[in-house]
Structure 1
Amino acid sequence: MTSTFGWLAIDPKQRRRMMEAVDQFRDETTLDDLGFGAIRDAFSNTLFPGVSSIQTRLRYVLFIPWLLQEASHRDTVGRMQSQFREAEFRLITALQSGKETVGVIGRDAGRTLQRLPSEIYWVAIGRWGLVESGFSARRYFERELLRREELKATPRADDPDVPIRLTPTGLDPRLPPPPEHLLRETTFALRPEDARYLREAITRTAAGSLFAHLVTHRPENWTDETNQPAGVGDPAIRQGLPPELEALVDRATKFALYAQGANLLYNLLVAEATHKTDQHGSALEEVYTQRLGEWFTEVQDVKPLHARDRELIWQTVIHSGRRLSATTKDFVGTWADAVANARAAADLIGNHQLRCKIVGREREKKGPRARLTPGNQLALDAWGGASGTGRFDYLWTNARRHLQDLYDAEETA
């Protein structure tokens, strides 16, 4: 299918304008003007393997295998694939019939939905062992046809208790059976057998992660959605963590705090260049100067991000399969040392070398789209007053929704 935005590849000026407009609608924790993304994502995937920012409800990881099984009764791979796609659309209606309104993928788009649940959750069901690692829906359908041929060609054993050896389907044979009338009416509520299966799968395949720990160690004061912990650094979560996991969470929360400070200073520089005001008419230069002061008070209450901490962070990135450039290490190190040596936020704000470092870092990461590149008035005009100022939550928003689904199932068991 030809992309609607095919012109972006041949018109650099229009492409830049489009990308700058898109920037304004991104989540404040995902914008990455200073190149912290690889570290943020490494922590996210180490703490919550299999979870992604576009997932909604946990039961989708079971819906997908169930729909695969339902579609496999057709007589060709092509018809199986068509039926599977049709089932994903029918699932939207079934969830709405079950009175689900929040978290339904395709609730508004309906049959115009471009990114189906199977695409969104496929990494999760592979990571948690619901399907073979690296598997695909097509491969599953091919194996189902192969198994039919094997059954036809295999002579019946005299002893009915002797199992027939068939090619594995690629789906976990321990999957709970689907509920009746799945595509007529269903909900996101996990049955007790669903929850038991998913707890076992996650703790087995993601052992040592914060996600696996929380699956089996519900914080005492987390009773329902109204009192969920605010983030991975919440004392309710950190209480009772194994030492190695506690150290990982500590580094993650500390890095999120340090990265936010750098992004606040970056936004101050942009505010100085634009002279914009907020919705209340306050100069954004003053707003970010104040926010940096508040941030500096907070960062003084934690231990510095020492060289040893940084080395362990680099190892986390490498172990997650990501690359980390020497310039990224240098930038993080320079910023961390500057924060450790500062006595007040003004020491950071007025540090000329630090300002130049941030300008150069943005230019390195964004090229011609860098707002602080001299003469790039278009990018400055497109700045909406904030870019990447939120603190990294490492997919906590999505992970806690999944955990809540599991906890709710425990209460109904």
Structure 2
Amino acid sequence: MGWTYLSRAALARAKAQMDEESTGVRDEIGFLTIHQRYADRFFPGTSVLHTRARYAIFVPWLFEDLAGLIGPAAARALRERERELAGRLKNAGESQVIGGRVFPKASSQPPSTVYWNALAVWGILRSRADGRTISRSQAHRQLKGAGAAIDDDGQPLLSPEPPFLALPERPGSWRSGPITLRLTSKEASFLREHLGQLRPIGGKELSLLSRLVRAEIGAPSGMWAAETRALAGPDQFALGRAEQVASLAGIGRAVYDALLEHTLEAVDRREMSTRHRNHLTAIAREVGPVAANLDVKGLEGDIGALPVKLRAVVLATKDWIASKTQDPVPLLDIYTAAEARKGPRARLAPTPNGRARRLEWSSDEHGLATPLHYRWSQVSTLLNDLVDAE
């Protein structure tokens, strides 16, 4: 087993795929773009794969424990240590253990993968000399202090300093004995210091995550709750637009599912349930009034210009909501055009390949559409972990 350095673009694609797959989202139309951009603005460094805050301490400890190893030997040792950690946490009765479901096998997405970006964004992992995030293999090399890479001008790419900032003291049970996911007070203070200073990329104001961490009140009752809005500061209006487009995306996903049911019935001549068409009516009634107020220009001011076809879907869906019709068919062409980005995997396409893909789809097994969540569940757990430290 070796280490592969990925470019920023490759890392971004991998992160998007992990976000999509881990939440069970089938992002045919592209709403995940909105989800990721707002989530990164409000909650920098977070991921849908995050479970508990203490992993942000565990991962650097694991690397420091392996100081002296590099290359395949370091990769194998880290994989085994993460596998052992999963077993110890599971034996302690913890329920949000990364790798707990597959133990005693090693996880395909271990803590060092899941939390690496967070460690960089949160300032716990030092950057390379050129400002980019170091890879895991480079971290091992820095810990050994050997073979620092240089650029074409002979300048070092890696800092001569250790890859991680000075960490809280390890508990006596770190190497053996009982270990849990509950933070100590010193560990919570360490994380609070770093999380309390986060700003979105290119932003000058503190992120919503930082404001919530600084309040030291644990997780509010919801992302749209009054206590969250009260702490949002200059993000109050962006938070409102995020709620509106989250609702619109939930309706949009329901539109897509309803269009599939319609196409299977009207074009493919299959007997078809109305489950998703009924759900479209229900979700449009529930969150439509919120979605109808979306300011699309304000949305793009918050998170940047949307892809052309996604923007067209957002505008058309907003108009459809305002029309108060229950028939999604008028949106078929524009949703089909947006799904074309999926290539041969597109289901709405009026092609033999599209028909074959539709035949694989089950109305009864496909989950009902919901609004975007912006990783709020993971953020809530993080906030509660900080205030529940022992």
Deviation per residue, 1:75-104 (Å, 9 max, x gap): 766655543333222212332343323334
Report the CA distance shift for 1:261/1:29 in structure 2 as closer, same or farther (over 3 A).
farther
Is contact 2:45–2:121 with CA below 8 Å preserved after alignment?
Answer: yes
Q: Does 1:336 align with 2:336?
A: no
User: SS in structure 2 opposite 1:239?
Assistant: helix
Give the residue type in structure 2 aligned to 1:383. Answer: W
Q: Which residue of 2 aligns with 1:12?
A: none
Q: Which residue of 2 aligns with 1:357?
A: 334
Q: Does 1:128 align with 2:122?
A: yes
**Residue number among 219, 229, 232 corresponding to 1:238 in the alignment:** 229
Once the two structures are TM-superposed, the CA of residue 361 in structure 1 deviates from its matched residue by: 2.1
Q: Does 1:268 align with 2:278?
A: no
Aligned-residue Cα RMSD (Å) equals 3.2
Q: Which residue of 1 aligns with 2:355?
A: 377
Once the two structures are TM-superposed, the CA of residue 27 in structure 1 deviates from its matched residue by: 6.5
CA distance in 2, matches of 1:266, 1:145: 52
Q: Does 1:250 align with 2:240?
A: yes
Give the residue type in structure 2 aligned to 1:212. Answer: S
Once the two structures are TM-superposed, the CA of residue 198 in structure 1 deviates from its matched residue by: 0.2
Report the CA distance shift for 1:388/1:37 in structure 2 as closer, same or farther (over 3 A).
farther
Q: Which residue of 2 aligns with 1:368?
A: 344
Deviation per residue, 1:363-410 (Å, 9 max, x gap): x2222222222343322222222367121101112111111211211x
Aligned length: 343
Is contact 1:189–1:405 with CA below 8 Å preserved after alignment?
Answer: yes
Q: Which residue of 1 aligns with 2:169?
A: 177
Give the residue type in structure 2 aligned to 1:116. Answer: P
Is contact 1:94–1:182 with CA below 8 Å preserved after alignment?
Answer: no
CA distance in 2, matches of 1:210, 1:368: 39
TM-score (norm 2): 0.77
Alignment of 1:386-405 (within 5 A): 386=366, 389-405=369-385
The worse-fitting range, judged by mean Cα deviation, of 46-55 and 94-103 is 94-103
CA distance in 2, matches of 1:79, 1:183: 19
Q: Which residue of 2 aligns with 1:152?
A: none
User: SS in structure 2 opposite 1:345?
Assistant: coil
Q: Structure 2 unaligned runs (5+)?
A: 2-19, 128-132, 147-158, 200-204
Give the residue type in structure 1 aligned to 2:66. Answer: A
Once the two structures are TM-superposed, the CA of residue 59 in structure 1 deviates from its matched residue by: 0.6
Q: Which residue of 2 aligns with 1:211?
A: 209
Alignment of 1:1-400 (within 5 A): 30-72=25-67, 74=68, 79-133=73-127, 134-146=133-145, 167-173=160-166, 175-184=167-176, 185-206=178-199, 208-218=206-216, 229=221, 231-242=222-233, 244-275=234-265, 284-285=273-274, 288-289=277-278, 291-296=280-285, 298-301=287-290, 304-313=293-302, 316-317=303-304, 324-340=306-322, 342=323, 344-346=324-326, 349=327, 352=330, 354-362=331-339, 364-374=340-350, 375=352, 376-385=354-363, 386=366, 389-400=369-380
Is contact 1:258–1:336 with CA below 8 Å preserved after alignment?
Answer: yes
CA distance in 2, matches of 1:234, 1:114: 36
Deviation per residue, 1:104-143 (Å, 9 max, x gap): 4244232343322111111111111111131233323333
Is contact 1:48–1:399 with CA below 8 Å preserved after alignment?
Answer: yes
Is contact 1:39–1:317 with CA below 8 Å preserved after alignment?
Answer: no
Report the CA distance shift for 1:295/1:168 in structure 2 as closer, same or farther (over 3 A).
same
TM-score (norm 1): 0.73
Higher RCO by CA contacts (8 Å cutoff, separation 6 or greater): 1
Report the CA distance shift for 1:188/1:327 in structure 2 as closer, same or farther (over 3 A).
same
Once the two structures are TM-superposed, the CA of residue 204 in structure 1 deviates from its matched residue by: 1.6
User: SS in structure 2 opposite 1:256?
Assistant: helix
The worse-fitting range, judged by mean Cα deviation, of 247-256 and 179-188 is 179-188
Once the two structures are TM-superposed, the CA of residue 290 in structure 1 deviates from its matched residue by: 5.4
CA distance in 2, matches of 1:388, 1:132: 42
Percentage of pairs with the same residue: 23
Once the two structures are TM-superposed, the CA of residue 50 in structure 1 deviates from its matched residue by: 1.0
User: SS in structure 2 opposite 1:380?
Assistant: helix
The worse-fitting range, judged by mean Cα deviation, of 251-260 and 107-116 is 107-116
The worse-fitting range, judged by mean Cα deviation, of 258-267 and 183-192 is 258-267
Is contact 1:238–1:246 with CA below 8 Å preserved after alignment?
Answer: yes
CA distance in 1, matches of 2:275, 2:171: 57
CA distance in 2, matches of 1:271, 1:350: 11
CA distance in 2, matches of 1:113, 1:177: 27
CA distance in 2, matches of 1:142, 1:212: 32
Rg larger in structure? 1
Once the two structures are TM-superposed, the CA of residue 293 in structure 1 deviates from its matched residue by: 4.8
Report the CA distance shift for 1:196/1:377 in structure 2 as closer, same or farther (over 3 A).
same
Once the two structures are TM-superposed, the CA of residue 355 in structure 1 deviates from its matched residue by: 2.6
